[in-house]
Amino acid sequence: MAPPLLSLQGVALTFGGTPLLESADLSVAAGERVCLVGRNGSGKSTLLRIAAGLAEADRGEIFRQPGATIRYLAQEPDMSGFETVLAYVEAGLGPGDDSYRARYLLGELGLTGDENPASLSGGEARRTALARTLAPQPDILLLDEPTNHLDLTTIEWLESELKSQRGALVLISHDRRFLTNLSRATVWLDRGRTRRIDRGFGEFEAWQETVYAEEETERQKLDRKIAAEEHWVRYGVTARRKRNVRRMAQLSMLRETRRTERRATGDVRMAAAEAEQSGTLVIEAKAVNKSFGDRQIISNFSTRIVRGDRVGIVGPNGAGKTTLVKLLTGNIEPDSGSVRLGAALDMVTLDQRRDSLDPNDTLTEAMTEGRGDMITVGSETRHVIGYLKDFLFSPEQARTPVRVLSGGERGRVLLARALAKPSNLLVLDEPTNDLDLETLDVLEEMLGDYTGTILLISHDRDFLDRVATSVIAPDGNGRWLEYAGGYTDMLAQRGTELAARTSSVRSPTKPRSEPQAAASAAPAQAKKRLSFHQQHALKTLPSRIETLTKEIAALQAKLADPALYARDRGTFDKASAAVAQKAAELEAAETEWLELEILREEIG
């Protein structure tokens, strides 16, 4: 096995009276791909900061190979003191690093480098921090929630970029598909200790269930042993005093073990307070148009949403997702066309912008908006501490200021506050940001049981697949199309990746003025290089071609059965149509790939 570039052994850290880390280990060798998982508040970010040398442990052994470069991406990077985005990114370069790579990455991520860090949106700030972290091409990348605030196109680009990196990677993320695609080993931080398997995240959840089952078995054995010793104390022979003293000491030790054992935190209990049922029709939009200046955001869009639908809305940052939701919910008027809302709608919106939380409020004040210790959940009045327990907050945290909560804990506060209000229409804007995987599971189950209607903006592909019944996606030039099913179903129906059909949508959320656009276009034209979307298509088209080839071969094998036509005419017709459709998609993909390859060779 290769020697580690980074090694943490027996790391312990205590905040207040409760140990956050008791005996945490983390070892990373050259080229390894490790995901670090655990519940919100378990200490994942703290462990990563200790690994990066930005925080100190109470005890433990820490080794960093001399000369190895480590770069850390924080959830909330500090960009103060820098006049431009480029200056911030270049400040992260070391001696001998290529300064051009800073400009290259900013360009790939849709930034010019001239932006003021103080005026960046959440997505722009995240892309800037990523550029600074990736630019030096370090030996070890430590990434804490890198996909937060990124659109799907950028997430797919980041996946591809990280796969091409030769350095080691330690990754914290709530995005299941991102973790599955990138990780080759999993470290689980649970109750202050770590466990590791040398398999990717795709096998983590089955392993976790096995560990919990083994713990429960051991706990039952300990309970039986304590019961047997207590029976002996009450009814056993007392003649041999020395033996009796030893057995009493053993019983005391067993009881102490049982008392001090750190058990897994209870499950989140999440339920939305539901209002009276709405009418069958919830939203109907007909030929809706919306522009800002010369930019067409929505062009001739129509949809009909009925009670019980779960509609996902996806697209690059700046494509107009929020504008579309505001139109559909009646918060803004269309330039032309009509939007009709159904009867008896009670709408609750979950906006993941954390500025709605006052950092100086206590957890109780944030939940009750300063109105005592009781909270109304639907039609029921509950004590705030009991309600907070449903979202995994301890009674001791009730007086904790919001500013010391982790990102995931603040996400749970926003969810708890929104779900307490009665609704039959939930509008969720990036609800998965910073939530741990177990909370995501419970959120998915809650949304599955919710009898009302859901509008969901999300960049989490797995979450969309599990929740959405249809997906609305941009198709360029203000056109939006609705597809049945989740994100994967949408891609299958489009026949191309999301990036390939939205190349006209820039990543930055703020449109640039014409002089700025012309100024930035001139050097790009002089440089003459493949765009981000073209590079992304070059990387993804071969796998798309391979998949289509396999699917066509499987369908042709089915059609090769001479008895299929007579036995099942419907299946034969469907398979024949599918072969024709996929053959056309294959031809289009091969043509696009060939054209891009020719262009790449001409440029290079």
Please say if the pLDDT value at position 67 is more than 70.
Answer: yes
Question: Which letter does DSSP use for residue 401 in this model?
Answer: B
Q: Provide the percentage of residues in the chain whose pLDDT is more than 70.
A: 83
Query: How far, in Å, CA of 121 to CA of 492, rounded?
Result: 32
User: How does DSSP classify residue 297?
Assistant: E
Give the C-alpha separation, 447 to 302, whole Å.
Answer: 25
- Tell which residue, 347, 378, 377, has the closest CA to residue 386: 377
This prediction's pTM = 0.68
Using the structure block, give the residue that is written with the tokens 């609750």: 348
Rounded to whole angstroms, the Cα distance separating 582 from 570 reads 18
How many other β-carbons are positioned within 10 Å of the β-carbon of residue 214?
10
pLDDT number for residue 470: 92
How far, in Å, are 275, 324, 410, 413 from residue 388 at the CA level? 21, 33, 12, 8
Instruction: Copy the structure tokens of residue 275.
Output: 């209002």
Q: How far from the centroid of its chain's Cα atoms is residue 157's Cα?
A: 15
pLDDT digits (tens, 9 = 90+) for 391-428: 878 788 888 888 888 777 887 888 888 888 888 999 99
User: What gap in Å lies between CA 392 and CA 440, rounded to an integer?
Assistant: 13
Q: How many CB atoms lie within 10 A of CB 560?
A: 8
Sign of CA dihedral 86, 91, 93, 97: positive
Residue 286 and residue 103: Cα distance in Å, rounded?
44
| pLDDT band, very low/low/confident/very high, at 122 (cuts 50, 70, 90) | confident
Contact 301, 285 (CB under 8 A): yes
The Cα-based distances of 438 to 37, 105, 410 in angstroms read 10, 34, 16
Which segments of 145-213 are extended strands (E)? 168-172, 185-190, 193-197
Write down the pLDDT at residue 177: 92
d(CA 259, CA 197): 29
| pLDDT for position 246 | 61
- For residue 130, with 0-12 CB atoms within 10 Å meaning exposed, 13-18 middle and 19 or more buried, which class applies? buried
Residue range 144-158, pLDDT digits in tens: 999 988 888 899 899
Tens digit of pLDDT for each residue in 373-398?
888 887 788 888 888 888 878 788 88
Q: Between the CA atoms of 418, 422, 424 and 430, what dihedral angle is there, to the nearest 10 degrees? A: 0
Using CB atoms within 10 Å of the CB of residue 125, give its burial: 0 to 12 exposed, 13 to 18 middle, 19+ buried. Answer: buried
What residues have CB less than 8 Å from 213, skipping those under 6 apart?
A: none
CA–chain centroid gap for 128, Å, is 18
482-to-185, 238, 302, 469 alpha-carbon distances in Å: 37, 79, 9, 11
What's the mean pLDDT when you consider all of the chain?
82
The answer to whether residues 480 and 287 touch, using CB atoms and an 8 Å cutoff, is: no
Give me the numbers of helices (H) and strands (E) for the chain, helices first please. 19, 20
CB of 511 closer than 8 Å to CB of 293 = yes
pLDDT in tens, 244-301: 556 556 656 655 665 555 544 555 566 677 777 888 899 999 999 999 888 899 999 9
Chain Cα centroid distance, residue 135? 23
Question: Could you tell me the pLDDT band of residue 83, with boundaries at 50, 70 and 90?
Answer: very high
Q: Place 183 in a pLDDT band, splitting at 50, 70 and 90.
A: very high
What's residue 438's pLDDT? 76
Inter-helix orientation angle 204-235/241-260, to 10°: 150
Does the structure show a pLDDT above 60 at 521?
Answer: no
Return d(Cα 142, Cα 26) in angstroms, integer.
12
